[in-house]
Amino acid sequence: AQSVTQLGSHVSVSEGALVLLRCNYSSSVPPYLFWYVQYPNQGLQLLLKYTTGATLVKGINGFEAEFKKSETSFHLTKPSAHMSDAAEYFCAVSESNFNKFYFGSGTKLNVKP
């Protein structure tokens, strides 16, 4: 089975600062990688995904992530944090044959004014 590790259960940044949320995965086959965002009392919304091709993927709300195979990482970044970015973020890995997702434990992002 795959596993996903998100470093830091809580990350706090100032408004306008760089956002960096870390995700590492274990996989013996090329993975499909995802970042989801969850606002309080809501379901999960897809931010971005990597399947094949360009390793730098851009998502909604100014977020992007880079797939680094050698580091088995898929870190999420945003150049300038906004108050509305405060939410919980989940990294996920999918097996190639079926849509079984393995989620990380999540990182809560706090944005300070």
Chain contacts with other proteins (rule: CB under 8 A): 1, 4, 6, 9, 32, 34, 36, 42-46, 49, 51, 90, 92, 94, 98-106
Beta partners for residue 49, in sequence order: 34
Instruction: Please state the closest distance from residue 93 (CB atom) to other proteins, in A.
Output: 10
Residue 17 φ/ψ, nearest 5 degrees: -85, 165
Instruction: Please state the closest distance from residue 84 (CB atom) to other proteins, in A.
Output: 20
Between 73 and 107, CB nearer to other proteins: 107
**R_g of the chain, CA atoms, integer Å:** 13
Between 10 and 82, CB nearer to other proteins: 10
Instruction: Collect all residues with Cβ–Cβ distance below 8 Å to 3 and sequence separation of at least 6.
Output: 25, 26, 102
Beta partners for residue 32, in sequence order: 94
Between 69 and 82, CB nearer to other proteins: 69
